[in-house]
C-alpha cells in the first residue's frame, strides 16, 4: 500500500489490501471512512472481497454495528418509497428515483452500505404544481421559511425547496431537471424522463437509464461546488462505471448522451478523476465527442490541482496541502456555473448581508 495515499483511498483502489492491515491502520481507515459517510460501504466491500471473517475482532465488532445501521437505513428508505408511490400514482405518474434511493431500490453496486439523508425524485416540470400539491396533502411541507430562499429554488433552481414530512421527518427533494435553470448548460429533462427504466419487482418505480444515471452523478459532483461527500460521490461513479461499462456499447452511448445533454465537461472530469484516483478502467483515448470536451492544457492543470485535493478522503491522515483553498475556489466556481454574473452577485450579496441566520 502506498504511503502517499490516505488509507481509505488506497483501500478503495485495491480492496483486497484490507487483508494486510494492522489494528492501527484499521483504526485510521475506519475514522476516515466514517468522516466520509462510507463506514458501512467499507463493511460491505470487505464482505464482497470475502475478507470479513478474517478481520481483527475489534473490526468485526465495528462492522456488525455498521451492518445493523445500514439495514435499518435500507428499511427506512424502502418504507418511505412505498409511501411516495401512491401519491404519484394518483397523478398518473411513476415514481422516478434519483441518486441514493435509485441505487438502493434498483440494487446497483453503489447501494450496499450507502447512507443518505434525503430521497430525490424527478418529475416533469409541467406537473410540478400538481406534484407539490399532492405531496402537501400527504403531509409534506417546505422547510425553508425565508421568502428569498423560496424564490431562489422556484425560479432559478432545478428542484423545489426541500420538503419534510410533518410526522416522519423524512426529507424529500423534488427535481424537475438535473442542473439549475439559470446554468449555461441546458440538459433536456424530457430526455431523462422518456429514457427512465422500470425497476424489477416495482412496477410503479423508475430509475434513470444507465448513461443518464452516470451523467447525473457526474453533474452533481463536478458542477455543484460542494465536496463534503466528494470521496463518496467519486466512489459512486467508480462503481457505476465498472458495472455499466461491462455492457456492450456503453462507453460510446455515454459519450454521445453527454454531448446530447450538454454535460460533456462534467463527464470528462468524472472519467478523468475516477481513473486517476480510484483506478477506474476508463477507455483511452476517451470515446467520441468526449475527446474534445475537456478544457485547454492550462485550465486542465489548474483543475487537476483543485480536484485532486478536494476529492481525497476527509479525516485524520488526509490533509492535503492547500485543501481549504481548493474547496473555496471550487465553491466559487460552482456558483459561477450556477447562474449569470449579475444574478450571482445579487445572490451572494443577499446571502451575505440580508439573509436571516437559520
pLDDT per residue as tens digits for the range 37-75: 999 999 999 999 999 888 999 999 999 999 999 999 999
Helices (H), ranges, the chain: 7-13, 23-35, 39-48, 57-89, 99-106, 128-137, 147-151, 189-195, 210-223, 230-245, 250-260, 264-278, 297-310, 323-338, 341-349
pLDDT band at 1 (very low <50, low <70, confident <90, very high): very low
Q: Under a CB-based contact definition with an 8 Å cutoff, are residues 222 and 266 in contact?
A: yes
Note the pLDDT of residue 356.
57
DSSP 357: P
214-245 pLDDT, tens digit per residue, is 999 999 999 887 788 899 999 999 999 999 99
Q: What is the largest CA-CA distance in the chain?
A: 59
> Cell for 95?
415514481
What are the beta bridge partners of residue 171? 164
Q: Does the domain made of 7-354 have the CATH classification 3.40.50.720?
A: no
Q: For residue 231, which of 321, 323, 102 has the smallest C-alpha distance?
A: 323
128-149 pLDDT, tens digit per residue, is 999 999 999 999 999 888 888 8
Q: Under a CB-based contact definition with an 8 Å cutoff, are residues 184 and 337 in contact?
A: yes
Sorted by where each begins, the domain ranges of the chain are: 7-354
> Cell for 144?
425553508
Q: How far apart are CA 214 and CA 266, in angstroms?
A: 10
pLDDT band at 256 (very low <50, low <70, confident <90, very high): very high
pLDDT band at 358 (very low <50, low <70, confident <90, very high): very low
Q: CA 17 → CA 5, 25, 57, 245, distances in Å?
A: 13, 11, 18, 24
Number of H helices, E strands in the chain: 15, 7
Give the DSSP H/E element, type plus range, for residue 122.
strand 119-122
Phi-psi map region of 249: left, alpha, beta (phi>0 left; psi -120 to 50 alpha): left
Phi-psi map region of 256: left, alpha, beta (phi>0 left; psi -120 to 50 alpha): alpha
300-347 pLDDT, tens digit per residue, is 999 999 999 999 887 676 666 778 899 899 988 988 888 877 777 777
72-117 pLDDT, tens digit per residue, is 999 999 999 999 999 999 999 999 999 999 999 999 999 999 988 8
Amino acid at each position: 500500500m502506498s504511503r502517499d495515499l490516505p488509507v481509505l483511498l488506497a483501500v478503495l483502489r485495491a480492496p483486497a489490501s484490507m487483508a494486510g492491515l494492522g489494528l492501527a491502520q484499521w483504526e485510521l481507515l475506519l475514522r476516515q471512512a466514517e468522516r466520509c459517510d462510507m463506514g458501512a460501504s467499507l463493511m460491505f466491500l470487505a464482505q464482497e472481497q470475502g475478507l470479513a471473517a478474517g478481520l481483527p475482532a475489534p473490526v468485526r465488532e465495528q462492522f456488525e454495528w455498521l451492518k445493523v445501521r445500514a439495514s435499518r437505513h435500507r428499511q427506512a428508505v424502502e418504507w418511505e418509497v412505498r409511501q411516495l408511490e401512491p401519491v404519484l400514482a394518483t397523478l398518473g405518474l411513476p415514481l422516478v428515483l434519483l441518486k441514493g434511493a435509485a441505487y438502493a431500490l434498483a440494487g446497483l453496486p453503489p447501494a450496499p452500505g450507502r447512507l443518505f439523508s434525503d430521497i430525490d425524485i424527478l418529475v416533469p416540470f409541467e406537473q410540478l404544481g400538481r406534484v407539490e400539491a399532492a405531496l402537501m396533502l400527504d403531509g409534506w411541507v417546505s422547510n425553508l421559511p425565508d421568502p428569498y430562499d423560496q424564490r431562489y429554488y422556484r425560479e432559478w433552481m432545478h428542484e423545489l425547496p426541500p420538503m419534510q414530512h410533518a410526522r416522519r421527518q423524512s426529507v424529500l427533494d423534488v427535481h424537475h431537471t438535473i442542473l439549475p435553470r439559470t446554468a449555461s448548460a441546458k440538459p433536456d429533462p424530457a430526455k431523462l424522463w422518456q429514457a427512465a427504466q422500470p425497476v424489477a419487482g416495482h412496477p410503479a418505480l423508475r430509475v434513470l437509464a444507465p448513461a443518464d444515471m452516470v451523467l447525473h452523478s457526474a453533474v452533481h459532483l463536478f458542477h455543484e461546488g460542494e465536496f463534503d461527500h466528494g470521496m463518496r460521490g467519486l466512489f459512486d461513479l467508480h462503481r457505476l462505471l465498472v458495472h455499466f461499462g461491462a455492457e456492450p456499447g456503453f462507453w460510446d452511448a455515454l459519450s454521445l448522451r453527454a454531448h446530447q445533454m450538454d454535460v460533456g465537461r462534467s463527464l470528462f472530469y468524472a472519467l478523468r478523476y475516477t481513473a486517476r484516483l480510484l483506478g477506474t478502467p476508463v477507455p483511452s483515448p476517451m470515446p467520441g465527442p468526449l475527446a474534445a470536451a475537456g478544457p485547454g492544457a492550462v485550465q486542465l492543470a489548474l483543475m487537476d490541482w483543485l480536484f485532486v485535493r478536494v476529492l481525497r478522503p476527509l479525516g485524520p491522515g488526509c490533509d492535503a496541502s492547500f485543501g481549504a483553498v481548493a474547496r473555496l475556489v471550487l465553491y466559487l466556481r460552482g456558483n459561477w456555473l450556477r447562474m449569470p454574473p449579475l444574478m450571482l452577485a445579487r445572490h451572494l450579496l443577499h446571502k451575505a448581508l440580508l439573509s436571516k441566520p437559520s
